[in-house]
Amino acid sequence: MIVINRKERDKQLRRADILKAAEHVFASKGYYEATIQDIAQKAQYGTGTVYLYFKDKNALYFSLLEEKIRSLTDAIRGRVEEAKGSRKKLEVFIQESLDYFEKNQDFFKLYILEKNSVQLIMSKRIASSAVEYGTEYMEKIISLAQEERVVREDCKPSELTDILVSILGSFVLNWINKESKRAGTLKDKAGLIFNIFLNGVAKK
């Protein structure tokens, strides 16, 4: 029995090796220009090995996306739950998102690329469910904020969510690209983003 568990655990570790390599390769080249060879090499396995753990390239890609999105959402959810009141929840949501993306830059690239292509090109891409899972929770917070009269009511929660997600995205993207001279951490931007989201860019 112990043997089986041990083996099972090792298997999961090797699977994780491949996912990690895939994350990096997909993020730097994009889905189509990333080859299975690239990924296998990065993970230090032979090409064929990848197929022992994933049905095909597509399955590998979506397993990756799905698992990372789940981990992102779960990471954020805990902290937000603790915060009291929609205002505070929003603030924490922003902070935690930034923190997570700062630590998972490769994932961010996949997420932002996928978010648009899923919404646009749809196709067979099953990931939409995972992407939705990611924003669904945000929508609840916004709904709450509307109930508490913190946030304007002339937009649907989903629209407001999209706005916040895009603003967040634009800051993360800027920060990631500015790898040379970066003022501080990404999380430092949280206050600014919160403020812009709530009060806009007008000079007060």
Partner DNA sequence: TCAATAAATGAATTTATATTCACATCACAA
Partner DNA sequence: TTGTGATGTGAATATAAATTCATTTATTGA
Length of the chain: 204
Q: Is residue 125 part of the contact set for DNA (CB under 7 A)?
A: no
Among 52, 126, 163, 192, binds DNA (CB under 7 A): 52
Nearest to 172 by CA among 184, 195, 189: 189
Residue 99 near residue 187 (C-beta atoms within 8 A): yes
Q: How far apart are CA 100 and CA 102, in angstroms?
A: 5
Binding-site ranges for a copy of itself (CB under 8 A): 27-33, 109, 112-113, 116-117, 119-121, 123, 149-155, 158-160, 162-167, 169-171, 173-174, 176-177, 192, 195-204
Q: Is residue 81 part of the contact set for DNA (CB under 7 A)?
A: no
Pick the closer one to DNA by CB: 40 or 98. Answer: 40
Residue 5 C-beta: closest distance to a copy of itself, Å: 40
Question: Which amino acid is residue 50, in one-letter code?
Answer: V
Residue 35 near residue 57 (C-beta atoms within 8 A): no
Residue 62 C-beta: closest distance to DNA, Å: 12
Residue 98 near residue 190 (C-beta atoms within 8 A): yes
Q: Is residue 12 part of the contact set for DNA (CB under 7 A)?
A: no
Residue 17 C-beta: closest distance to a copy of itself, Å: 24
Q: Which residues in 26-45 contact DNA (CB under 7 A)? A: 33-37, 40, 44-45
What Cα–Cα distance (Å) separates residue 76 from each residue in 52, 72, 82, 86, 182? Answer: 33, 6, 10, 15, 25
Q: Is residue 132 part of the contact set for DNA (CB under 7 A)?
A: no
Residue 169 DSSP one-character state: H
Which segment (51-59, 72-80, 98-106, 137-145) binds DNA by CB under 7 A? 51-59
> Look-up: residue for tokens 């634009």?
170
**Which residues contribute to the site for DNA (CB under 7 A)?**
3, 6-7, 11, 14, 33-37, 40, 44-49, 51-52, 56-58
